[in-house]
Amino acid sequence: MHDIEPHFRWREKYIASEDQNTPFYGESYSEFSFSKKVYNYYVHPQWDSIGSETLYVKLIYADYLEGYAIIQLIGEWNDCLHNDIMLLKRNLIDVLIKEDISKFVILCDHVMSFHASDDAYYEEWHEEVSEEFGWVSFINVRDHIEQEMLSANIQYYIQLGEVYNEFFWQKLKPEILIREVEHRIHNHQKALY
């Protein structure tokens, strides 16, 4: 895990540590000093902490005029033992919502496992962003994680499922990624009705 870097191709457009509206403003990073761990495995020093012992994040893009953020995750998402959704919601998402972000793309390519608890924070997140016609979409969720999320009924609050998986987002520009996700959300919702 130590060699998995957060996505860096959009750094000419956005850097969270230079954005005063984020909790990561002013953060400095080392390429050589590894201190963050998921259990006994170090993660790359470019990842940011939200206070979780097992889940790290990288806010790789935020557009306050258009109201969207793209967040990449790595590690184990454990709501059962560590209440990671509360940490993510309170320490990052709430900060962004206060800055008028209402559309969230959560990149789950590097989430290795998920342990559910209740769905209260997911419901809260959904209610807050839907007031502004926003949404939350989980992209590239592994099959076993998706099954756990579905068994916890998270799909009632979060856009996830097959239509959002096998998504080759890395070569897209952030605004193209958002348009593609919105297109999939619109088509998926149309198909339901």
SS3 letters for the chain? CCCCCCCCCCCCCCCHHHCCCCCCCCCCCCCCCCCCEECCEECCCCCEECCCCCEEEEEEEEECCCCEEEEEEEEEEECCCCCHHHHHHHHHHHHHHHCCCCEEEEEEEEEEEEECCCCHHHHHHHHHHHCCCCEEEEECCCHHHHHHHHHCCHHHCCECCHHHCCCCCCCCCHHHHHHHHHHHHHHHHHHHC
Is residue 26 one of the residues assigned to a domain? no
How does 2-31 read in b/e, with b if 16+ C-beta sit within 10 Å? eeeebbeeeeeebbbeebebbbbeeeeeee
Residue 100 lies in a domain: yes
User: What would the 3-class secondary structure string for 48-59 be?
Assistant: EECCCCCEEEEE
Residue 38 lies in a domain: no
* 29 located within any domain: no
Is 169 among the domain residues?
yes
37: left (phi over 0), alpha (psi -120 to 50) or beta: beta
**Domain interval for residue 188:** 48-192
Tally of domains within the chain: 1
d(CA 121, CA 81): 15
CATH of the domain at 84: 3.30.750.24
Q: Is residue 121 part of a domain?
A: yes
Per-residue pLDDT of the chain (193 residues; tens, 9 = 90+): 677 899 999 999 999 999 999 999 999 987 777 777 788 878 888 999 999 999 999 999 999 999 999 999 999 999 999 999 999 999 999 999 999 999 999 999 999 999 999 999 999 999 999 988 999 999 999 999 999 999 999 999 999 999 999 889 999 999 999 999 999 998 866 655 4
The answer to the question of residue 185 being in a domain is yes
Phi/psi class of residue 83: alpha, beta or left (left: φ > 0; alpha: ψ in -120 to 50)? left
In a domain, 55, yes or no: yes
